[in-house]
Structure 1
């Protein structure tokens, strides 16, 4: 190979290796730039405080923070205003990103009701109407636990009623209000939605149709079962002497022994005949004679 040809071959090879090196360098630098952009902080809306389930979000509950771009969760937002007014279907802890998966779908969207998201699998949500007293004066809130008391007439004795705890340690899913007609006028009635098994739902539905319901609010740390025997008015007033005496049924008078009535004797024909007057008795005198120690008694009748 002549010298000019060798120079040309070397030059071509040098250009090829230079091109390869330039491409590798560009590719490496491009990857480093992408990594730098990925770790650059981006704006992300997170919870400024714990947001419980079923809450309507306000802008004061949100804040904007910096978040690595490559780890931003899907469905997140960068502007708090876009999330204001939305309802949470899952609890959001402080500092967690507020994503669409934790919010009730927008109106008109599929699954826009949030209750279906919080009912445990295999359970049912049932809503019952209560009054202010039965609803513990409005102190019952979602996530509380209650016992349900039913007051109803005793079967077979409609004059006597019994109150008994029929359900225990029941979670409250939601509270609300409904409008009912009473005496031709609309009346607002408080409601409580409970989380029950299908069997307990049947008990509550039947009980609410046969009597009145009362809710008992439990302490958050008290979840154990209790023995409920039920209470009647006799048990409630037990211990009062006057009430006990009044409550005792009057002893029924002993039935008199039945005496067999003997039939009246039939009057004989002789008895029915007129009585014959008996003759008057005659007067008499008695005389005693003693002759030589011998005593003799004679009776003389006067005619």
Structure 2
């Protein structure tokens, strides 16, 4: 009886070992095939490494390595101006740090337009492009679009005033578009778009070319400037616009006809005939 039990036990152990061996071979073959398929299959989306911010950063903050992380990003949708290496983003963090120019949300790529150049501060000068100058325009609740302006917006600038026309010295009042699509870089003393909360500004600062600075200065000193906000997705350029009161009301200018009437000159001489004085007509010499 014991011998039979021992034989059955040995046969059972043998069958169990054989089953385990077969299962192990099957799993190994499956894993090898899966690994081989993964190696031969090309990735569906090609990616590159670039840096994004880990947490929200605000205007003026110092950008440090602890604020960013490198992630995989689809290669065909990499934004222009991103950083793909730490040496490019932080060339010399100790002596030439970068500062944030535009608020960024977590996961947003760090771009060159959103941070300063190494060693530059986050002041107004960092927002002025090469060849441009900053110019301040006085505004009020009406000319400043009721406080809806923000740094980074674009505006059209209109001039309203009067000029003398011709020798008649007649004043003509009109409004004319003098600059189109001008970039706003600051509202009052704030260059941070998030820091302007719908307040009525007294001045706005625009970035324009030197020739435009002269035109705006002359316009501001001879009339009144008004701003018109351009839509964020609007890439059209406004054409020359000029409106006066007559064109606004649809009136036509009256032509004054002046008739010159030349009076005939009569020349006379007086002569006395006895007690009577008589006037006699004679030809005029002139």
Normalising by structure 2, we get a TM-score of 0.51
State whether residues 177 and 190 of structure 1, in contact with CA within 8 Å, keep that contact through their aligned partners in structure 2. Answer: no
Select the structure with the greater relative contact order (CA < 8 A; seq sep ≥ 6). 2
State whether residues 54 and 69 of structure 2, in contact with CA within 8 Å, keep that contact through their aligned partners in structure 1. Answer: no
CA pair 168-257 structure 1, distance change in 2 beyond 3 A: same
Q: Report the equivalent of 1:212.
A: 224
Unaligned runs of 5+ in 1: 1-43, 58-62, 77-85, 179-187, 273-303
- Pair 1:268 & 2:273 matched: yes
Deviation at 1:98, TM superposition (A): 7.1
Q: Report the equivalent of 1:295.
A: none
CA pair 45-238 structure 1, distance change in 2 beyond 3 A: closer
| Distance of 1:205 and 1:234 partners within structure 2 | 27
Deviation at 1:264, TM superposition (A): 5.8
- 1:233-272 equivalence runs, <5 A: 233-239=245-251, 248=254, 252=258, 254-263=259-268, 266-269=271-274
- Pair 1:201 & 2:210 matched: no
State whether residues 129 and 191 of structure 1, in contact with CA within 8 Å, keep that contact through their aligned partners in structure 2. Answer: yes
State whether residues 47 and 97 of structure 1, in contact with CA within 8 Å, keep that contact through their aligned partners in structure 2. Answer: no
| Distance of 2:105 and 2:206 partners within structure 1 | 24
- 1:169-188 equivalence runs, <5 A: 169-176=181-188
CA pair 161-261 structure 1, distance change in 2 beyond 3 A: same
| Distance of 2:115 and 2:242 partners within structure 1 | 43
Q: Report the equivalent of 1:124.
A: 133
| Distance of 1:67 and 1:224 partners within structure 2 | 37
Deviation at 1:237, TM superposition (A): 2.5
Q: How many residues align?
A: 192
State whether residues 164 and 171 of structure 2, in contact with CA within 8 Å, keep that contact through their aligned partners in structure 1. Answer: no
| Distance of 1:118 and 1:67 partners within structure 2 | 27
SS at match of 1:263: strand
Q: Report the equivalent of 2:235.
A: 223
Deviation at 1:250, TM superposition (A): 6.4
State whether residues 53 and 104 of structure 2, in contact with CA within 8 Å, keep that contact through their aligned partners in structure 1. Answer: no
Deviation at 1:67, TM superposition (A): 6.2
| Distance of 2:132 and 2:105 partners within structure 1 | 26
Deviation at 1:159, TM superposition (A): 3.5
Deviation at 1:215, TM superposition (A): 0.4
Q: Report the equivalent of 1:55.
A: 59
Q: Report the equivalent of 1:140.
A: 149
SS at match of 1:221: coil
Within the candidate set 144, 149, 160, 1:151 is matched to: 160
State whether residues 47 and 92 of structure 1, in contact with CA within 8 Å, keep that contact through their aligned partners in structure 2. Answer: no
State whether residues 183 and 206 of structure 2, in contact with CA within 8 Å, keep that contact through their aligned partners in structure 1. Answer: yes
State whether residues 158 and 179 of structure 2, in contact with CA within 8 Å, keep that contact through their aligned partners in structure 1. Answer: yes
Deviation string 1:172-203 (CA, Å, 9 cap, x unpaired) is 1121259xxxxxxxxx8522111211111111
| Distance of 1:271 and 1:102 partners within structure 2 | 108
CA pair 268-228 structure 1, distance change in 2 beyond 3 A: same
State whether residues 158 and 225 of structure 2, in contact with CA within 8 Å, keep that contact through their aligned partners in structure 1. Answer: yes
| Distance of 2:270 and 2:240 partners within structure 1 | 70
Unaligned runs of 5+ in 2: 1-50, 72-84, 92-97, 191-199, 278-286
| Distance of 1:164 and 1:249 partners within structure 2 | 25
CA pair 75-197 structure 1, distance change in 2 beyond 3 A: same
Q: CA RMSD in A?
A: 4.4
| Distance of 1:267 and 1:87 partners within structure 2 | 109
Deviation at 1:212, TM superposition (A): 1.0
